Amino acid sequence: MNDMSRYLFAIVLAMAVLFGWQILFPPEQREIVNNEINVQQDIAQLNISTDETQKYSEPCQEDRILILSNKITGSINLCGAKIDEIFLKDFKTSTREDSDFVQFFNPKENDNAFWVESGWKAPKNIRYNLPGNDTLWTLEEGQTLTPETPIIISWNNDNGLIFKQKISIDENYVFNIKQEIINNSPGSITVFPYQQLSRKEAPDGQALGLLHEGPTGYFDEELEEIDYDDIEDSDFRSEFKEGWVGIRDKYWATAITSLDKDNKRAIFKTSTDAFDKFYRIGYIGDLTGASSGERVSSVSLAFIGAKEVKIIQEYSDNNIFNRLDLIIDWGWFYFLAKPLFYVLDILFSFSGNFGVAILLLTILIKVVFFPVVNRSYVQMAKMRKVQPEITKLRELYGDDRQKMALEMQSLYKKEELKPLSGCLPVLIQIPVFFALYNVLLVALEMRHAPFIGWIKDLSAPDPISLFNGFGLINWEPPQILMIGVFHILFGLTFLLQTKLNPAPPDPIQKTLFTWMPILMVFIAANFPVGLVIYWAWNGILSIMQQMYIMKKQGTEIALFAKSEKE
């Protein structure tokens, strides 16, 4: 196998390993442990049922408080004190100007219901009339929740307990919820504070298992990434003191955390409410209480919004939300992906077009790797020069492998050839290749970002195809046939790179490299067009670089040599 074959085979093999391994063998999750907890283990179930918490209540009619900040709008449902309606003002549902804002949180009655709630849980076998899902809270202070005007809501259980929640919001995506119980009853109370996310449906279109989407937790310096189907099989529990729990989507995320300085117990599970199944992601704090005439309180935060890197990083750096930056999954090569994103973001702000920024970043990467890749291509050019001699040696000593190996070593020494040096630059580039791949998958800036002409959304597959006359025929082919202009360009660059060197002597290898470009084109039909543009552009630059070095070394270029012979 020549060096170009090794180069392509390494890329193909790496892609197969990365995609195949993560799809077929998802990361093993930490064993789910049901730890014994001194104070009533079943309190950690976090299913707050109406029968248990509010024995004498009836379903309430919803009443809402408007939420309005720089980044979001929505409302709080006073029936249950749930934040269950959140619209992201900077993001639309489609590329049409008249399209609606993205609705991230939805009320319980909706198919894609998603909300967060904060409350209290009583120890086992102790009955308090606590607020629940059907408790109608009263607006005590404020009218609209804005960064300048927090609100206070309250509820009196008519048994001497008054419950209050003071809710505030910053200019971006973080809510601060301070909940309090005023104990005017004749006796003491003991309760556990809790906070919980509830979601009816898992989102569609997850990134083929390449990046994590789903329940996530950061527990005392350890990140846990759980799949939806895992918690359908069994509950996940973890004890922690510092950290948060949340849910990742591709472009959006939510996380909740307690500011109380005590131990918490997280639980990820599913439960059924009537005919609907819900994913429950939450935590419960330590037992606390208040004597008659005293108060007990708990403070928590909730991040609900878009995965905007700079905003999330600021929350982390300023210790507003400890290590919230981990809510963004940068993939295996996160230490490369994150810096690449910042470079890409600078180029985006400079060029004003995310597609152009991708092209510029690819050029920068090529420049950085030019010295090592140049050595590789020089070795490849030398290998091509001695290819006739290698062929002769194979003819002479094909059956004598030991003699063949000695003669090859002698030839390499004579011509100052180092075959392994041709593979090293490939291995160095593979992490960068996949890091950039992950950046383009996760980059919110690529969503609905136009490029040129018909490409209005770099994060979506190409909207036109060779099989519908590039949009001239009124027919939408199946996704695997959505082969656009850049897919064809990608396939051609892939093919040209295989043709720049003589075909491998092995028939199986020859067949593989003949059909691989075609196969990759159809695989790429499912990927965002921004990625396909990157692959095509990277291929063009690689071809130009290799042809330049081969010409400089005085090595004939296989494509031209073949044409001349014909």
Which domain CATH number covers 160? 2.70.98.90
Comparing 34-38, 406-410, 487-491, which segment has the lowest mean pLDDT? 34-38
Q: Largest Cα–Cα distance of the chain, in whole Å?
A: 103
pLDDT at 319 over 60: yes
192: enclosing H helix or E strand: strand 189-199
Number of compact structural domains in the chain: 2
| Per-residue model confidence (pLDDT) at position 559 | 60
In a domain, 16, yes or no: no
Looking at the fold, whether 261 and 377 belong to one and the same domain comes out as no
Site of tokens 């990361």: 27
Residue 565 lies in a domain: no
Please tell me the total number of residues recorded for the chain in this structure: 566
Q: What percent of the chain has pLDDT over 70?
A: 81
Domain boundary among 279, 307, 329: 329
pLDDT tens per residue across span 234-252: 999 999 999 999 999 999 9
Asked if residue 399 and residue 294 are part of one domain, the reply reads no
Q: 418 and 304 in one domain?
A: no
User: Mean per-residue pLDDT for 384-400?
Assistant: 71
**How far, in Å, CA of 281 to CA of 229, rounded?**
14
Q: Are residues 149 and 295 in the same domain?
A: yes
Lowest mean pLDDT among 121-135, 326-340, 397-411: 397-411
pLDDT in tens, 352-368: 999 999 999 999 998 88
In a domain, 29, yes or no: no
Tokens 């001349």 belong to which residue?
A: 564
Same domain, residue pair 313 and 395? no
89 & 179 share domain: yes
First to last CA, the chain: 25
Reply yes or no on whether the pLDDT at 470 is more than 70. Answer: yes
Dist. CA 78–CA 107, nearest whole Å: 12
Whether 396 is covered by a domain: the verdict is: yes
Report whether 169 contacts 67 (CB < 8 A): yes
For residue 502, pLDDT over 60 is answered with no
For residues 273 and 226, state if they share a domain: yes
Q: Residue 38 has what pLDDT? A: 37
Residue 73 has what pLDDT?
97
Q: What pLDDT score does 565 carry?
A: 44
Can you spell out the DSSP letters for 324-339? GGGGS---TTHHHHHH
**Range list of β-strands (E), 71-188:** 72-77, 82-92, 101-105, 114-121, 138-141, 151-156, 161-169, 174-183
Using one digit for the tens of pLDDT, what is the confidence trace for 415-462?
Answer: 666 666 556 666 777 888 888 888 888 889 889 999 988 999 998 899
Average pLDDT of the chain, as a whole number: 83
Confidence at 406, pLDDT banded by 50, 70, 90: confident
Say yes or no to pLDDT of 409 above 80.
no
Is pTM beyond 0.95? Reply is: no
**Whole-angstrom distance, CA of residue 261 vs CA of residue 298:** 10
7 lies in some domain: no
399 and 469 belong to one structural domain = yes
- Examine the domain organization and report whether 69 and 188 are in the same domain: yes
Domain identity same for 460 and 363: yes
Between 566 and 141, the higher pLDDT residue:
141
Q: What is the pLDDT of residue 515?
A: 84
Cα Rg of the chain, angstroms:
30
User: What is the pLDDT at residue 97?
Assistant: 85
Residue 27 lies in a domain: no
User: Of 276, 297, 329, which one is at a domain's C-terminal end?
Assistant: 329
Rounded CA gap, 496 and 218, in Å? Answer: 47
pLDDT tens figures, 140-152: 999 999 999 999 9
In angstroms, the CA 60 to CA 82 distance is 13
Same domain, 300 and 355: no
Average pLDDT over residues 161-177: 97
pLDDT attached to residue 411: 73
Phi first, then psi, for residue 302 (nearest 5°) are -140, 120
Model confidence band, residue 517 (pLDDT cutoffs 50, 70, 90): confident
Structural domain of 417:
338-555
Domain boundary among 282, 304, 329: 329
Instruction: Using DSSP, state whether 162 is helix, strand or coil.
Output: strand
Is 563 inside a domain boundary? no
Residue 374: inside a domain: yes
Q: What is the pLDDT of residues 216-225, one digit of tens each?
A: 999 999 999 9
Strands lying side by side in the sheet with 222-225: 138-141, 151-156, 161-169, 174-183, 295-306, 252-258, 243-248, 214-219, 222-225
Do 323 and 422 lie in a common domain?
no
